[in-house]
Amino acid sequence: MRRVLARATADLAAVSDSPRLDAELLMAHALGITRERLLLGRLDDPVPPAFAALLARRLQHEPIAYITGTRAFWTIELAVGPGALIPRPDSETLIEAAVEHFARRPPATILDLGTGPGTLLLAALDQWPNATGLGVDRSGAALAMARANATRLGSADRARFAEGDWATGIAGPFDLVLANPPYIGTVEALPAEVREYEPAAALYAGTDGLDAYRAIVPDLPRLIAPGGVAILEIGHAQAEAVGALVGGLGRTWQLRRDLAGRPRAIVT
């Protein structure tokens, strides 16, 4: 297995920024064990027959999360698949900002606009076990994953999901409003594993990438409860543009950066 992992790492260098990690995750998935267990005691085992097919899929740029069917996010692990945006570590910045805002009192009600497989809502419900929440998405496939994730994580009694057009028809207010909308401009280039596999509706938002914010921001005043907060994920060059939309409503806002120091969220 050590030799095969070394060869796979070399092959994956052409399609991945983390080829060794990818190889180990695929090997662990082929064995049906965690990566930690693989590294701690299985590297001298024979290579499982399923590994070659998994590697071939990754060499075609298919995302690791779609191959393994899972992605860790915050304190939870989500089942993911084609039809829903894959959770990114950068999006944890929104939960971190929410934890800071609610340091003295927990939120009771949470709204997640563009919930995908339930990413932000289910992470927030895990953080605050007495809260309830609503996740909204246009994609029926994504909502099916979100409901299944809520059941698997034991949050089904506290999470509701609805198919909808952002906040249209949603009655507030909520203590915490979260959103990771599409924010890629239609002329922007994306890596093959994103462009060819993840749903375009969860990625692109008009030529400037701001269409979703133009739909969401005007509803924020009625959605946010007194003492509450809205936290919107943004692209790294969109802080001023989204901030201007928020400021146009007479609301103040702050910028949150991710662990790499890049602009990542507007807090208002």
pLDDT per position as a tens digit, 237-255: 999 999 999 999 999 999 9
Q: What mean pLDDT comes out for the span 40-57?
A: 97
Q: What are phi and psi of 72, to 5 degrees?
A: -75, 140
* Confidence label for 23 from pLDDT (cuts 50, 70 and 90): very high
Assess whether pLDDT exceeds 90 at residue 86: yes
pLDDT per position as a tens digit, 115-152: 999 999 999 999 999 999 999 999 999 999 999 999 99
Contact 216, 181 (CB under 8 A): yes
Whole-number Å distance between alpha carbons of 97 and 234:
14
Which residues share a beta bridge with 224?
174
pLDDT per position as a tens digit, 144-159: 999 999 999 999 999 9
Assess whether pLDDT exceeds 90 at residue 24: yes
Contact 148, 115 (CB under 8 A): no
Domains located in the chain, CATH noted: 2-60 (1.10.8), 83-267 (3.40.50.150)
* Confidence label for 172 from pLDDT (cuts 50, 70 and 90): confident
Q: Mean pLDDT, the chain, as a whole number?
A: 97
Specify the pLDDT at position 251.
95
What residues contact 241, with CB distance under 8 A and at least 6 apart?
208, 210, 213
Q: What mean pLDDT comes out for the span 175-197?
A: 96
268: DSSP letter? -
